[in-house]
Amino acid sequence: MEETVVLVLRWIHIAAGFSALVVAPLAMLAKKGGDAHRRWGKWFFYAMAVVAVTAIIIGILHVNIFLSLVAVFSFHLVASGYRALYHKRVHEGQRPGLYDILLQSIAGVVNGGLFIWGFTNLVLGDRGSSVLFLVFGLIGSLFVWRNMQRFYKRAHDKHEWLYAHISGFLGGYIATVSAFSAVNMTFIKPVWLQWLWPTIIGSPLIFLWVGYYKKKLTRGRRARDVMDVRIR
């Protein structure tokens, strides 16, 4: 019975992961803030939610803690990007809601655990999987710190919600590509590179994309002149 459940969950996981892999570029290419962008973006978010839930359940049933932790890591990025759309008044003193506190708290514990796990394994001489734990734990922890910092720092850029949205969704997509690579690109060696090459390539691209919008918006242009901005 358990094997049947796992098999069904695995196929749901694969279908949702493939869906996320395909629709995210559609959201990227669509007019920012337009109906198509919002539609594909929501599809990507919910697909990633299914990916995370199924991965966590499979990880628990098969005692694969790493799979469960990486699922939380990936969904945290996407969920943070999604929640950023509700934080367009942070520069006016808006504070995080209950969902935000829960999301960042859980992610903080998981990512901190990944980092400590990786550091411990590295000290014990395991240089393979420890690299993955360290990198994912560090990236996830930095995202948690940055997300919470947005709410409590004194000086704010009124477009921070946009940069957080871009970083979160693109970071989540990189995590999706990483999982696809780890499963299907086994010809890449060493194993840690199967997981990390999307991060190595994608991180600078996120920096450039965010920088592109920052440059536009710091020239005095309003966000509504750059994209279709809605309250939610």
10-residue stretch averages of pLDDT, the chain, 232 residues long: 83 93 92 89 95 90 78 92 90 85 92 89 77 90 91 79 93 92 88 90 92 78 52 46
> How many Å apart are CA 216 and CA 90, to the nearest integer?
20
> Long-range CB contacts (< 8 A, 24+ apart) of 130-134?
131/192, 131/196, 132/66, 132/192, 132/195, 132/196, 133/66
Report residue 121 as tokens. Answer: 């394994």
Residue-level pLDDT at 230: 53
Nearest to 55 by CA among 22, 11, 19, 23: 11
**pTM exceeding the 0.85 threshold for the entire prediction:** yes
Residue ranges of domains in the chain: 2-226
Residue-level pLDDT at 160: 86
